[in-house]
Amino acid sequence: MGRLFGTDGVRGLANGDLTPELAVSVGIAAARVLSQQAATHRPIAVVGRDPRASGEMLEAAVVAGLTSAGADVVRVGVLPTPALAFLTGRLGGDLGVMLSASHNPMPDNGIKIFASGGHKLPDEVELAIEKIVLDEKHEMWDRPTGAAIGRVRDEESGLSAYAEHLLASVPSRLDGLKLVVDCANGAAAAIAPEVYRRAGAEVVVLGAVPDGLNINDGVGSTHIEGVQKAVVEHGAHLGLAHDGDADRCLAVDAAGNVIDGDQILAICAIALNEAGRLAKSTVVATVMSNIGFHHAMRDHGIEVATTAVGDRYVLEKLRQERLVLGGEQSGHVVFLESATTGDGVLTGLHLLARVAETGKPLAELGSVVVRLPQTLVNVAVRDRVAATKSKPVAEAIRRAEVELGDEGRILLRASGTEQLVRVMVEASTQVIAETVANKVAAVVAETK
């Protein structure tokens, strides 16, 4: 068996790759590793899930694993991933466990583990958990018995506490705004419409009837066309689309045009900078952010700190550099003063507040980012790592950079899961982007 943890926890086909037996093992390993850090007391684990049907099965398995290793469990029910992170800190958890596959289809599920305070696991802790799970002698350990077995209790006030936390962070009221929100038939359904209404917005709701089987099914941030249509039909000022576990947010302006994560991040960065709250006048983004985002930030006197793809890397940079705002093109935005992870509903509130404060339509605010045309070519290779390091490829990239100049860029990335090299080019026109990308892709292909 290879690596257990991916870039965002353990994920796979529920009851296929991700079995109850594996979930039990992950629970046991997490409790054993974290119990070493909670040496003076019995470790406490806060466990939540999104509404997909397999979450019921996997929650039971994880709880069994945790308690069998001597951890007490607080079940907080169906809620967003950022709510679980928040409650892990609020309830004094030594770890938090979220059962969710985010934007993936219903048959998939995942196990996301948070450290105390609701932070992402440090790499060394993740590796320690993984080592125990993958150890063939994993079952040969001294199990607690009697009173040492962990206990389970349900916390029913967690969602309301999270709602109050979100509302306390809103910079201004949303009165007068009409909003369409798509909850992806996921965890956002339990919280997003209520919070937006309590903040003052008039809300039209889509995808808020989860039945365990319909999460992300033609709705949510991966199917934003539903929000685009509804915004126009209802004459709304804007629309928001969340994913299954509500840790991301994409938007739609009044005309039905998509406002992506780069634009949302830019709008929020400018707002915080104008308020004197953007630490070091710097925002964190990944290498996938469009060059138009970088130009917009430069024009507003904001520096951009760039990381590898993945919200965990954004979080690491925020914490290392003591910054407060970062995000991804996909709609993961982290407001570190208010959250320890990407939070879609929090992002939506801040975006709406900016519209309300300025009185400007979302289309005008989003136009600050002039997106350059972008082309992505996937090239199948024998060895993805070797291909990215070959001298002919390096020379092809150098020539491309000269050809693009300041009006574009090229990015070469090895796939994390397949023998593919991804060639991404941004340029002043689509024709130039495609031409340059295909030239470099041809050189990469020759490394086969």
The 10s digit of each residue's pLDDT in 176-209 is 999 999 999 999 999 999 999 999 999 999 999 9
* Domain assignment of residue 390, yes or no: yes
245 in a labelled binding site: yes
pLDDT in tens, 31-82: 998 876 666 788 999 999 999 999 999 999 999 999 999 999 999 999 999 9
The two three-digit tokens of residue 173, written as one number? 């009221």
Residues 97-120, mean pLDDT to the nearest whole number: 93
Of 366, 400, 418, the last residue of a domain is: 366
Whole-number pLDDT of residue 38: 62
Q: How many CA atoms lie within 13 A of 196 on its CB side?
A: 32
* Domain assignment of residue 100, yes or no: yes
338 given a catalytic annotation: no
Whole-number pLDDT of residue 243: 96
Is residue 212 located within the same domain as residue 260? yes
Is residue 285 located within the same domain as residue 326? yes
25 in a labelled binding site: no
* Domain assignment of residue 4, yes or no: no
pLDDT in tens, 376-403: 999 999 888 888 889 999 999 999 999 9
Whole-number pLDDT of residue 311: 82
Helix axes 158-168, 344-358, angle to 10 degrees: 30
247 in a labelled binding site: yes
Whole-number pLDDT of residue 105: 93
Whole-number pLDDT of residue 8: 67
Question: What is the overall mean pLDDT for the chain?
Answer: 93
* Domain assignment of residue 226, yes or no: yes
Q: Is the pLDDT of residue 1 over 50?
A: no
Is residue 197 located within the same domain as residue 315? yes
pLDDT in tens, 356-368: 999 999 999 999 9
108 in a labelled binding site: no
Separation CA 151–CA 39 (nearest Å): 18
Whole-number pLDDT of residue 448: 61
Q: Is the pLDDT of residue 16 over 90?
A: yes
Is residue 252 located within the same domain as residue 143? no
* Domain assignment of residue 438, yes or no: yes
Whole-number pLDDT of residue 417: 60
Q: How many domains does the chain have?
A: 3
Residues 108-114, mean pLDDT to the nearest whole number: 95
Q: Which residues of 57-76 are buried (b: 16+ CB within 10 A; e: fewer)?
A: bbbebbbbbbbbbbbbbbbb
Q: pLDDT above 90 covers what percent of the chain? A: 80
* Domain assignment of residue 5, yes or no: no
Residues 161-175, mean pLDDT to the nearest whole number: 95
Q: Is the pLDDT of residue 152 over 70?
A: yes
CATH of the domain at 57: 3.40.120.10
pLDDT in tens, 277-302: 999 999 999 988 998 999 999 999 99
Is residue 199 located within the same domain as residue 103? no
Place of tokens 């928040």: 86
Whole-number pLDDT of residue 54: 97
* Domain assignment of residue 253, yes or no: yes
C-alpha 170, offset from chain centre:
20
Is residue 77 located within the same domain as residue 92? yes
Is residue 67 located within the same domain as residue 182? no
Is residue 381 located within the same domain as residue 355? no
Whole-number pLDDT of residue 39: 64
Is residue 271 located within the same domain as residue 343? yes
pLDDT interval class at 15 (50, 70, 90) = very high
Place of tokens 């009409």: 178
Closest CA to 196 of 225, 220, 226, 166: 166
pLDDT interval class at 218 (50, 70, 90) = very high
Is residue 176 located within the same domain as residue 265? yes
Catalytic residue among 35, 54, 100, 102: 102
Sign of CA dihedral 33, 34, 35, 40: positive
Of 347, 366, 385, the last residue of a domain is: 366
Partners of 251 in the β-ladder? 240, 259
Q: Is the pLDDT of residue 9 over 90?
A: no
pTM over 0.85: yes
Residues 147-175, mean pLDDT to the nearest whole number: 95
Is residue 356 located within the same domain as residue 429? no
pLDDT in tens, 247-262: 999 999 999 999 999 9
Q: Is the pLDDT of residue 23 over 80?
A: yes
Of 303, 333, 366, the last residue of a domain is: 366
* Domain assignment of residue 2, yes or no: no
Phi, psi (degrees; rounded to nearest 5) at 96: -125, 145
Whole-number pLDDT of residue 309: 82
Q: Which residues contact 306 (CB under 8 A, 6 or more apart)?
A: 284, 285, 286, 287, 289
Domain that holds residue 113: 10-156
Is residue 382 located within the same domain as residue 299? no
Partners of 252 in the β-ladder? 239, 258
